[in-house]
Chain A
Amino acid sequence: MRREIRFRLNGEAVSAQVAPHETLVELLQEGFGLYGARESCGQGLCGCCTVLVDGRAVSGCLYLASLVEDSDVRTIEDGGELDAVQQAFIEASGFQCGFCTPGFVLMTRQLLDEIPDPSEDDIKHYLSGNLCRCGAYPEIIAAVKLAARKRKGV
């Protein structure tokens, strides 16, 4: 029951054979060896499986792989050098165990694309779908603010 789909993955044209029930996280892990998007709660509530599809964050543990046909898919593995958000997460200690970190980084990029200078409330609401059991939230808020400054070159 598999069928071939084509899409762009981190800027590269790719194709894959996907089953109807297969999720985007499964496709990335089994098909492409990309483990940065990872299933945790399995219900789209924790944000560990965040993937950008055509520039929008989706929960990769619920999003069916077949839906990315002809789409532009970006994961945490995209890009070479660390960007302003990743640098800010390191400088502001915005993680501990690191399991939720790719999701936070991707959501922060999307937040700053939409709101370049977010208030603390903006940050809390925008990232409220990402959970961190280590409780690094105060540092994550600081990291997002720092990333905003870095992006503006301040």
Chain B
Amino acid sequence: MKRATQSTETPQVGRSVPRLESWLKVTGRAEYVHNLRLPGMLYGKIFRSSVAHGRIKRIDVSAARALGGVHSVMTGEDVRRLVPDPYYGPAFHDQPVLALDKVRYVGEPVAVVLASDPHVAEEATHLIVAEYEALPAVYDEVAAMTSKAIVHDVLKPAGTFPDLKHFKGRTDTNVALDFHLRRGDAKKALAGAHRVFEHRFRTQQVMHTPLEPLVSVAESTETSLTLHTASQSPSFVRSEVARLLGWPENRVRVRVPYMGGGFGAKLYIKLEALVAVLSLLTRRAVKISLTMEEQFFTITKHASTFRIKSGVSADGRIVARECEVWWNGGAYADIGPRITQKSGFTAPGPYDIDNVLIDSYALYTNLPPAGALRGFGIPQLVWAYESHTDMMARALGIDPVEFRRRNLLRDGRPQATGTVMRDAAIEKVLERVAVLLDWKNPFDRGSGALRRGRGIAVGFKACVSPTTSLAAVNVNADGSCIVYCSTTDMGQGSDTAMAQIAGEVLNMAAESVTVVHSDTDVTPYDMATLGSRSLFHMGNAVKLAAEDAKKKLDQLRNELGLPADAEIPDIFKRKYGMQAGNVVGTGSYVPTYKSPDENGLTDSATPFWMVGGTGVELEVDTETGRVRITRLVNVADVGTPINPRIVETQLSGASIMQLGFTLHEKMQFDADGQLRNASLAEYKIPGLLDIPQEIVNEAVVAEQKTGPFGAKGVGETGTFSVSPAIANAIEDAVGVRLTSLPMTPEAVFMQLQESK
């Protein structure tokens, strides 16, 4: 599709520009790594561990190697020939490229078969025989605190994060981070409270299931390596692979085209180190495409247990809260320790509580690794604190909206860390949910077997900090514009948003701006596309870069004696005598941040707060336990939307994804840690028949003053409050309380039977 460069005075932000890549996507032409084939390329198929915890006694690959068409078979020992210490990870260097000495979960990669024909490679994996000496395993996050089964013999923090350094060399523990926050005196305040409530909640392990499964391709020369990968974090991939190889970063190039979904699954290192090593060992291009099944053995969302205890005064004010959270990180830490802290400090919820105690633990277990999934731990926390809040309101006989109103954390007041709330429209979000649910008016409660109820919840998130984004904006001699940034577009619409921001500054139609996809040889550094950070951080960087380009153009006009309104092509013609040259503006953005002190306190914990509220109307079939959502209301503070339509679809899509995690999805393991439902046949994600009858999405009128044109991130916000709003509505409908996810018909039915 040809797009003319358009100069315009029309505002570019606040306009629902259709996604720039629309044509590519509706014609099937969008570039995904999934599609990539390189000359002479080998396909890798992975042989995986069949035990949850064991010492590797023997791996016999001779039959696999002998199969016709097999190029080679590689194990951890082959990897060690090239990389002496082949362990990677963003928080701990704990994950081997292929298992070494030990396996730590069922499904862990142990060997790889390479062949030109992927079917041959696959067949050969079935000929590999591995023997293990079984070791005791631990699966439950709370049990892991005290279990004799130790997943890692020695802890090896990556050194990037100061609060992990003291874990170096630790033995006999499964704790990969313990975060503690102490504000006021929670114990004392609880002792003196009018009423005290304590509950325990659980969330289950689930998987992102991006429809483009994880895929990476590596090609190499003697001195260089190029990775084509479905990655949300190309800059991290580059530095981590370079570190493993002992190479400077300029010898590793990481390219990311479009991605078929990410949701946090495609962060940090997943397949990249493996294909890099395989390519260097074979001197061939190597591709590994996971199957849907294999994704379940790669990265998941933390199961969690949350014990929460609150003290309430006689006038319905929460005076103290204790939060104890255990995160089931699986066999490798991935980014779990950051979730444990960065989300952990919001565990008391969006409430103004003087006395807070938080203990948040990242645990190793013998399950597939857990990392970030659309919310970075926040949905697990909101599930607990908003269920708990509703249960207290009911017990106190106070209307749940009114109880929240009384306790809400308002702008200008300190959050648990001590960071003063700014630009967080918590109250507005709560009030709009109540209005959209018509909360103050009576509600049809159904009859017979079908009982109706409604519920609300409101959650918040501190954007992860500190993180850095850089961008460049190039203005060509014909006046057209190209944005260079390493933000990856996995469906969230970042290309379009960045084009709108650059276009707004340069008075160009967003449709005429080109956004270059991540290529670490070309696009500047970016921490990663995660945690709803990109629109804010990269948006600010792109805005600064565009302003820099604009300033340089103005300087040229001035130097060349051109009027202030001279067209861009005329500037270059005057300067170079023809249509030649260009101007590059650069921008970098890193927010201010202060690490928490020994009590977990800091006055600068985050650059911005995200707020998401959900209202639910539902129907419970008391004969089957089936829950049908008739109305789902998503309200969010996203600042001032850059693209209102994309914001709306992000809220809606996130809430539908969370519906799956709330009502259906669960990775089911047997007593030996074997996953029993690693396929979309048995692990059901929401389809068209599962969506609510009506979905309402609203961004409240708000402004993030430090954001680009008042905006902030939105990718995760729609997930925050869905689960507790549904649990609250179920109790409203049928008087039973579920404290574990997912709330399947069976679970609801059993609870109904128990209450009889």
Binding site for B on A (CB under 8 A): 21, 29-30, 34-38, 40-43, 45-46, 48, 75-77, 82, 86, 89-91, 93, 95-102, 105, 123-125, 127-128, 130-141
Chain B residues with Cβ below 8 Å from A136 are: 649, 652-653
In B646-673, the 8 Å CB interface with A consists of 646, 649, 652-657
Known: A133-B209, A135-B652. A98 touches B263 (CB 8 A): no
Interface of A is mostly: loop
- Which residue of chain B lies nearest to A141 when distances are taken between CB atoms in the complex? B688
- Are B260 and A97 within 8 A (Cβ)? yes
Known: A40-B211, A139-B649. A124 touches B34 (CB 8 A): no
Known: A77-B28, A82-B26, A97-B261. A43 touches B681 (CB 8 A): yes
Q: Which of A89, A102, A128 contacts B688 (CB 8 A)?
A: A128
- Are A131 and B687 within 8 A (Cβ)? yes
Does B736 reach chain A (CB closer than 8 Å)? no
List the 3 closest pairs (A to B, CB-CB), nearest first: A36-B28, A97-B491, A99-B260
Chain B residues with Cβ below 8 Å from A125 are: 689
Q: Which of A76, A123, A133 contacts B261 (CB 8 A)?
A: A133
Does B314 reach chain A (CB closer than 8 Å)? no
- Tell me the complex Cα distance, A98–B22, Å: 9
- Which residue of chain B lies nearest to A126 when distances are taken between CB atoms in the complex? B688
- Are B34 and A35 within 8 A (Cβ)? yes
Interface of B is mostly: loop
In B666-711, the 8 Å CB interface with A consists of 679-681, 685-689, 691, 695
Known: A86-B26, A96-B649, A131-B680. A41 touches B688 (CB 8 A): no
- Tell me the complex Cα distance, A137–B695, Å: 11
What is the minimal beta-carbon distance from A145 to any residue of chain B, in angstroms?
13
Binding site for A on B (CB under 8 A): 18-19, 21-30, 32, 34-35, 37, 119, 208-213, 258-263, 291-293, 490-493, 645-646, 649, 652-657, 679-681, 685-689, 691, 695
- Which residue of chain B lies nearest to A143 when distances are taken between CB atoms in the complex? B26
- Are A98 and B260 within 8 A (Cβ)? yes
- Which residue of chain B lies nearest to A132 when distances are taken between CB atoms in the complex? B211
- Are B29 and A36 within 8 A (Cβ)? yes
- Tell me the complex Cα distance, A4–B609, Å: 61
- Which residue of chain B lies nearest to A106 when distances are taken between CB atoms in the complex? B28
- Tell me the complex Cα distance, A35–B492, Å: 22
What is the minimal beta-carbon distance from A17 to any residue of chain B, in angstroms?
14
What is the minimal beta-carbon distance from A27 to any residue of chain B, in angstroms?
13
Find the residue from A35, A77, A125 having the highest chain B CB count within 10 A.
Answer: A35
- Tell me the complex Cα distance, A91–B26, Å: 11
- Are A75 and B28 within 8 A (Cβ)? yes
- Are B25 and A95 within 8 A (Cβ)? yes
Chain B residues with Cβ below 8 Å from A132 are: 211
Chain A residues with Cβ below 8 Å from B685 are: 131, 133
Chain A residues with Cβ below 8 Å from B259 are: 97
Known: A35-B28, A96-B491, A131-B687. A90 touches B258 (CB 8 A): no
Chain A residues with Cβ below 8 Å from B212 are: 38, 40, 97, 99
Q: Which of A127, A131, A141 contacts B211 (CB 8 A)?
A: A131
- Are B492 and A96 within 8 A (Cβ)? yes
- Are A134 and B27 within 8 A (Cβ)? no
Known: A97-B261, A127-B688, A138-B695. A43 touches B653 (CB 8 A): no
Find the residue from B21, B23, B35, B262 having the highest chain A CB count within 10 A.
Answer: B35
Number of A-B contacts (CB under 8 A): 155
Known: A43-B679, A93-B18. A135 touches B686 (CB 8 A): yes
- Tell me the complex Cα distance, A153–B261, Å: 34
- Are B27 and A97 within 8 A (Cβ)? no
26 CB-based A-B contacts, threshold 8 Å: A21-B119, A35-B34, A37-B28, A38-B32, A38-B212, A41-B680, A43-B679, A45-B680, A45-B681, A75-B28, A93-B645, A97-B210, A97-B258, A98-B25, A99-B32, A99-B34, A127-B688, A131-B685, A133-B261, A134-B491, A134-B653, A135-B653, A135-B656, A135-B657, A135-B691, A136-B653
- Are A99 and B261 within 8 A (Cβ)? yes
Known: A101-B28, A137-B691, A140-B688. A96 touches B211 (CB 8 A): no
What is the minimal beta-carbon distance from B209 to any residue of chain A, in angstroms?
6
- Tell me the complex Cα distance, A105–B19, Å: 17
Chain B residues with Cβ below 8 Å from A46 are: 211, 680
Chain B residues with Cβ below 8 Å from A86 are: 26-27
Chain A residues with Cβ below 8 Å from B653 are: 96, 134-136
- Which residue of chain A lies nearest to B263 when distances are taken between CB atoms in the complex? A133
- Are A41 and B25 within 8 A (Cβ)? no
- Are B25 and A101 within 8 A (Cβ)? yes
- Which residue of chain A lies nearest to B653 when distances are taken between CB atoms in the complex? A135
Known: A42-B291, A125-B689. A101 touches B26 (CB 8 A): yes
Chain B residues with Cβ below 8 Å from A127 are: 688
- Tell me the complex Cα distance, A139–B647, Å: 13
- Are A135 and B654 within 8 A (Cβ)? yes
Find the residue from B34, B649, B654, B691 having the highest chain A CB count within 10 A.
Answer: B649
What is the minimal beta-carbon distance from A115 to any residue of chain B, in angstroms?
15
- Which residue of chain B lies nearest to A100 when distances are taken between CB atoms in the complex? B211
- Tell me the complex Cα distance, A136–B652, Å: 8
Chain B residues with Cβ below 8 Å from A141 are: 688
Chain B residues with Cβ below 8 Å from A29 are: 35
Known: A86-B27, A100-B211. A137 touches B645 (CB 8 A): no
- Which residue of chain B lies nearest to A40 when distances are taken between CB atoms in the complex? B211
- Tell me the complex Cα distance, A77–B575, Å: 45
- Which residue of chain B lies nearest to A125 when distances are taken between CB atoms in the complex? B689
- Are A89 and B291 within 8 A (Cβ)? no
- Tell me the complex Cα distance, A40–B23, Å: 21
18 extra interchain contacts, Cβ-Cβ under 8 A, other than A42-B293, A82-B27, A99-B211? A36-B28, A38-B32, A38-B35, A40-B213, A43-B292, A86-B26, A91-B18, A93-B646, A96-B261, A97-B491, A124-B689, A128-B687, A128-B689, A134-B261, A134-B491, A135-B652, A136-B652, A140-B688
- Are B210 and A133 within 8 A (Cβ)? yes
Find the residue from B490, B491, B657, B679 having the highest chain A CB count within 10 A.
Answer: B491
- Tell me the complex Cα distance, A151–B260, Å: 29
What is the minimal beta-carbon distance from A47 to any residue of chain B, in angstroms?
9
Chain A residues with Cβ below 8 Å from B679 are: 41, 43
Chain B residues with Cβ below 8 Å from A98 are: 21, 24-26, 30, 258, 260, 491
- Are A89 and B695 within 8 A (Cβ)? no
Chain A residues with Cβ below 8 Å from B492 are: 96
- Tell me the complex Cα distance, A30–B24, Å: 20
- Tell me the complex Cα distance, A64–B179, Å: 54
What is the minimal beta-carbon distance from B296 to any residue of chain A, in angstroms?
12
- Which residue of chain B lies nearest to A19 when distances are taken between CB atoms in the complex? B119
What is the minimal beta-carbon distance from A129 to any residue of chain B, in angstroms?
8
What is the minimal beta-carbon distance from A132 to any residue of chain B, in angstroms?
8
- Tell me the complex Cα distance, A124–B686, Å: 12
- Tell me the complex Cα distance, A93–B650, Å: 11
Chain A residues with Cβ below 8 Å from B27 are: 36, 76-77, 82, 86, 102
Q: Which of B32, B292, B688 contacts A137 (CB 8 A)?
A: B688
Chain B residues with Cβ below 8 Å from A97 are: 210-212, 258-262, 490-491
- Tell me the complex Cα distance, A63–B19, Å: 33
Find the residue from B25, B26, B292, B655 having the highest chain A CB count within 10 A.
Answer: B26
- Tell me the complex Cα distance, A101–B19, Å: 14
- Which residue of chain B lies nearest to A88 when distances are taken between CB atoms in the complex? B26
